[in-house]
Structure 1
């Protein structure tokens, strides 16, 4: 796909507007001028639109040399962390079942379908769950099959059959059921949390964290949120590993990386690595230096041990003319036991400062 100069300028203007709107939204929330519901709704809208614009620009950019980003100084996820934790099955189903029934009650019609009316279908789902809790997975799946043969659009049956299939390692079919449930009930919470677990099992950590973000955006009940917190940390850790690797190595499009960092921060607002790497991504784009600096400041304030953050901020501060601040960051970096790649990047920044050069020229990445 190619764009003429006017089309590209329009996309760049929209990109700048959306990123500035995200920045304004954060300030308004900090000042108490926007409530949590409106904040989440607007943030999701601005982020998805910005990602779409960046994706359009990303497909048309010519390949250019990009300064390699040093790896994070945070502790890498252990093998335990990379193995996504699953939710405690019976406890979670028990909590979410009631919520899901309440959420979907308004969508139920009357009458019967192939001999099973909707009220009877709901009662039958309770029987299916009893089979599931008794350890009869095959019987439970057959029970859900009966319900869906009668009422194909039953959100509860799709959700719980999908979740059971995920736990029985039939992830593909389970995800298909959960996809259908979300299409029918995008305002629900249970399908997102179950699909997050399924996506995590299949190795799609960024997709899993996106589902977590959607789950929280739908205002889950306190008990749901507490249960989700039991495994969200491992999903966030795995998603960050994937997205930081793709960002640093240039194997993921900018729009996907932006969406991933934003989803992580939606789930874990104070996540220091996500804030730092999002700040670095914005700094490299040359779109909003103030926003980039705030993200780097926030991340380093939350976790001063992330050595890469000092290199990133030193480069940005030098770019902005704050040489003293840049040198202070390099001094702080020198006091941390950092990987060789980060040390080389720090030396490049210092050499640019010594030569009076800009260590951070704006350069979009393909």
Structure 2
């Protein structure tokens, strides 16, 4: 099917419509094959996921046809666009396996009067998630699914998510997600959505409890992308642990109930906040990480940069020593090398240029983000590197 999406063939609206009809029909027939015993449960699940991905691509093609623009090659469909403007990437996964709700007679249209299968309805609703103007239709479909399967966690979860984004009462949607998590405690979609809602309500400690559960299990890439783009770990854990950070002069990771990677995100969030103790709070987190992991490159580098920025000679010397340790113990770490080059540019341009040469030798330009490349050029100019 991907061959058809290359070149100019995607402009053929008839082709797009035919492919959509074929896939919807195939989804219903998969349910029938499962029910008759001609298809194993594993094969059924695999094919449902495959056809659902293809339907998502079709939805993008239809959008391109209507706008006169060719669809992007290799496009991963936009699953949701939440109210704060964060694009949530990835096709909704983990579709609940269901029995066929009705049989299609020969010659009878899949969009006829017969009851559609739950899988077909879920797929149709998924295709509407990226279009805010059609959220009402998606909610109606989820309602229909829940009439047949009252405990369908996907329909429950996404109906509440659309209601939440549409301005419905937050507490009602939070209660719905709590019900989902009683049925399926590790369902990642519900864990993320309830964490977002609780965070928006300022209920950070509760949100942290659900994120703890999310982190205790393998997480799909699309769900991880939601968390990362939203900055959810940093916000929730930064806010939830802030009172402890203020209370204790030298909190440990155990006191903060943080792992190093989450601690770094919490520190970054606090640094960008408007809190009075934002810099001190970040330093406390970095030192908690260093106490347990003395050669941690990111914690060493980030604390060193904050110390250097004070302009205090004693703290500046400490910053240089700390950066030297970070590079000595982690000679191939980009952040350690670039942080030391940044500091060295002001008093040791030869050393700064040497660090940049190391970066150039270790990393291909394509591996570096535009922001990193900009920082490298800034240091290069400051140090006068050739």
Give the structure, 1 or 2, with the largest relative contact order (CA under 8 Å, sep 6 or more): 1
For the aligned pair, the TM-score class normalised by the smaller chain equals 0.3 to 0.5
TM-score (norm 1): 0.43
Which one has the largest radius of gyration? 2
